[in-house]
A and B are shown apart, each in its own frame.
Chain A
Amino acid sequence: MIKVENVTFRYDHSGEPALNRINMTIDKGEYIGIVGPNGCGKTTLVQHFNALLYPEDGRVSVDGMNTDDESCVEEIRRRVGMVFQNPDNQIVGMTVEEDIAFGPGNLELPSPEIRQRVDESLARVGLKNHAERQPYTLSGGEKRLVSIAGVLAMKPEYIIFDEPTSYLDPSGRDRILSLIEEINKQGIAIIHITHNMDEIVNAGRVVVMDEGRVVLTGSPKEVFGKVEQMKALKLDIPVVTDLAWRLKQRGEDIRTDILTIDEACLEILDRLKSPHAS
């Protein structure tokens, strides 16, 4: 469990806090979405989870280990992997396989074990045939997959994805999203930051941030159902939810906690079959 207790953080000591008294917990195996306007502190928050930043006030612990505790940092960073927003700057190896070997090498694992983890991770993200390629010859989507493989090779318990679909075309996006879901099914907790609400309609929980605070939290249905509040924060909501909401604005008596096209289909069919439903 990642436990964030009353955390406040400032980048410069006189200025506005980037995080303001944040409280939250993330359980093993959970899938949690974090949304919020640009600059609201999402990246800052998740960098506290693997001891890249330390709270100015309050505390963060991972499976009972405090991130302030120097002797735990190595293990915390193994357990909590992070896929950064720009994969180009995360890849440090001269070839794909060497990059994936970077993390396990830092754990000082013996070479045969590193080899095994590299091969496993490459297979998991579907890049088996690209082991020897040089990073600059890869497409944006492939770079992202390499950085995910690099994290998987650490055998983490939690993986943070910081806007993992930015700069990707739709097919690259779908590939990453289904990979994230697959990873979650294998029991690894996912912390998924995004601007695209459609990506997290299947998350277990959604956290909405604004100006360094958590302003809303709950299941996707609960959160996206609060359309007015989301709109006030200038946040998008899933397209289907928006449609339902607009219909309701025009006097149609319709549920507004519809998140996916499938649900919308069912609702519409329902109404077509029984026009007197409302």
Chain B
Amino acid sequence: MYNWGQYVPGNSIIHRLDPRIKILSVIVLSVFILKVGVNAGLLLSVFMMAVIFMSRLTFQRVITSLRPFIIFFILLFLLHVLFTAGTPIVRFSFCGLSITHEGLYRGLYITWQFMFLVTGASILTMTTVPSDLISGIEGILKPLRPLGVPTHDIAIMLSLALRFVPTFLGEIDRIKKAQMARGANFKKGKMIKKIKNITSLALPIVLSSFRRAEETATAMEGRGYKRGPRTCLRNLRMSSADYIALVLMVAMMTGIQLMAL
């Protein structure tokens, strides 16, 4: 549970980069990998490898973070392999489908693109403390503040959500055990019975989270929370490494764009 892209403590250059730079880079890389051709795609992949290397994350760790998405990757691949028109390699006469050159190529390429997206996102979350991630998002949204975007409130909302995920999972577990102690079975039995059991799980969980939310809201108010401006423990500060990373990203993207790779 709760493992994909979990923060891996470290002190590499990637860990220390400003979260705003990291988030923007992941967004830009994601947009580029989806729109550029194979050559630029390969170049970006090499770049990603370099980033993994610099972050001192083991490749095994990065691969593990792809695991929850494997079914999705396989489906994506099969869909393109089987449903792209072109020169057939193998033909399945019984259903009229065939594997084509073009399909194989597209399948591989698109799966590769999505693996790149997931890898980028998980490197971001594995090298950034969750709270920095949120300050990063808040920082990026900051220019929208004059337009009335409540950036402080968004940040508080996100951090509350992350704060309560483990609590919530613990709660589900607790209620499940309580119901099992009273004879409910969530694994075996008829479908109808199982669905009934799961519904009986949902109600107490919803009720208890409402109660919890109310208490938390009261506590926040008691601690002086009000909507609008507030200050934080840490302020984001761009260092020279951040400026170098920024220049590097801009240079690389401009290069790819100009050469139309």
Interfacial residues, chain A to chain B (CB-CB below 8 A): 47, 50, 52, 74, 77-78, 81-82, 84, 86, 88-95, 97-98, 101-111, 114-115, 118, 134-136, 150-151, 154
Residue-wise interface mask of B (185-208) relative to A, using a CB-CB cutoff of 8 A (1 in contact, 0 not): 000000000000000000000000
Which of B76-84, B95-103, B108-116, B216-224 is near enough to bind chain A? B216-224
Return the 7 tightest CB-CB contacts between A and B, nearest first.
A106-B224, A136-B166, A101-B233, A89-B215, A90-B219, A103-B223, A105-B230
CB distance A114 to B160 under 8 Å?
A: no
Q: How far is the CA of A193 from the CA of B215 in the complex (A)?
A: 18
Nearest-CB distance from A225 to chain B (Å)?
Answer: 35
Indicate whether B229 reaches chain A with its CB closer than 8 angstroms: yes
B171 to A, closest residue via Cβ: A88
Q: In the assembled complex, which residues on chain B have CB atoms less than 8 Å from the CB atom of A118?
A: 233
Q: In the assembled complex, which residues on chain A have CB atoms less than 8 Å from the CB atom of B231?
A: 104-105, 108-111, 114
Contacts A98-B131, A111-B232, A136-B170: A93 and B163 contacting too (C-beta < 8 A)?
Answer: yes
Chain B binding surface, main DSSP class: helix
Nearest-CB distance from B89 to chain A (Å)?
Answer: 51
Q: In the assembled complex, which residues on chain B have CB atoms less than 8 Å from the CB atom of A86?
A: 215
Q: How far is the CA of A82 from the CA of B221 in the complex (A)?
A: 11
CB distance B233 to A92 under 8 Å?
A: no
Q: How far is the CA of A256 from the CA of B156 in the complex (A)?
A: 54
Q: How far is the CA of A93 from the CA of B170 in the complex (A)?
A: 18
Nearest-CB distance from A9 to chain B (Å)?
Answer: 15
Q: In the assembled complex, which residues on chain B have CB atoms less than 8 Å from the CB atom of A136?
A: 166-167, 170
Nearest-CB distance from B10 to chain A (Å)?
Answer: 14
A107 to B, closest residue via Cβ: B224
B158 to A, closest residue via Cβ: A94
Interfacial residues, chain B to chain A (CB-CB below 8 A): 129-131, 134, 156, 159-160, 162-163, 166-167, 170, 212, 215-216, 218-226, 229-235
A100 to B, closest residue via Cβ: B233
Q: How far is the CA of A108 from the CA of B222 in the complex (A)?
A: 15
CB distance B226 to A74 under 8 Å?
A: yes
Chain A binding surface, main DSSP class: helix
Q: In the assembled complex, which residues on chain B have CB atoms less than 8 Å from the CB atom of A95?
A: 129, 131
Q: In the assembled complex, which residues on chain A have CB atoms less than 8 Å from the CB atom of B160?
A: 92
CB distance A114 to B224 under 8 Å?
A: no
Q: How far is the CA of A167 from the CA of B148 in the complex (A)?
A: 43
A and B contact pairs by CB, cutoff 8 A, 17 listed: A77-B221, A77-B223, A77-B224, A82-B219, A89-B212, A92-B220, A92-B223, A94-B131, A95-B129, A95-B131, A98-B131, A102-B223, A102-B225, A103-B224, A106-B224, A111-B231, A114-B231
Contacts A106-B224, A106-B226, A154-B224: A114 and B216 contacting too (C-beta < 8 A)?
Answer: no
Q: How far is the CA of A109 from the CA of B232 in the complex (A)?
A: 8
B165 to A, closest residue via Cβ: A136
Q: In the assembled complex, which residues on chain A have CB atoms less than 8 Å from the CB atom of B223?
A: 77, 90, 92, 102-103, 106, 150-151, 154
Nearest-CB distance from B142 to chain A (Å)?
Answer: 16
Q: How far is the CA of A208 from the CA of B46 in the complex (A)?
A: 72
Which of A92, A104, A135 is within 8 Å of B219, CB to CB? Answer: A92
CB distance A93 to B159 under 8 Å?
A: yes
CB distance B222 to A52 under 8 Å?
A: yes
Contacts A74-B226, A106-B224, A154-B223: A111 and B166 contacting too (C-beta < 8 A)?
Answer: no
Q: In the assembled complex, which residues on chain B have CB atoms less than 8 Å from the CB atom of A98?
A: 131, 159, 233
Q: In the assembled complex, which residues on chain A have CB atoms less than 8 Å from the CB atom of B131?
A: 93-95, 98
Q: How far is the CA of A4 from the CA of B83 in the complex (A)?
A: 76
Nearest-CB distance from B108 to chain A (Å)?
Answer: 39
Q: How far is the CA of A84 from the CA of B130 in the complex (A)?
A: 26
Nearest-CB distance from A131 to chain B (Å)?
Answer: 10
Q: How far is the CA of A118 from the CA of B232 in the complex (A)?
A: 11
Interface centre among B224, B225, B230 (most CB of A within 10 A): B224
Q: In the assembled complex, which residues on chain A have CB atoms less than 8 Å from the CB atom of B156?
A: 92
Q: In the assembled complex, which residues on chain B have CB atoms less than 8 Å from the CB atom of A82?
A: 219, 222
Nearest-CB distance from B135 to chain A (Å)?
Answer: 10
Nearest-CB distance from A67 to chain B (Å)?
Answer: 12
Nearest-CB distance from A60 to chain B (Å)?
Answer: 15
Q: In the assembled complex, which residues on chain B have CB atoms less than 8 Å from the CB atom of A92?
A: 156, 159-160, 163, 216, 219-220, 223
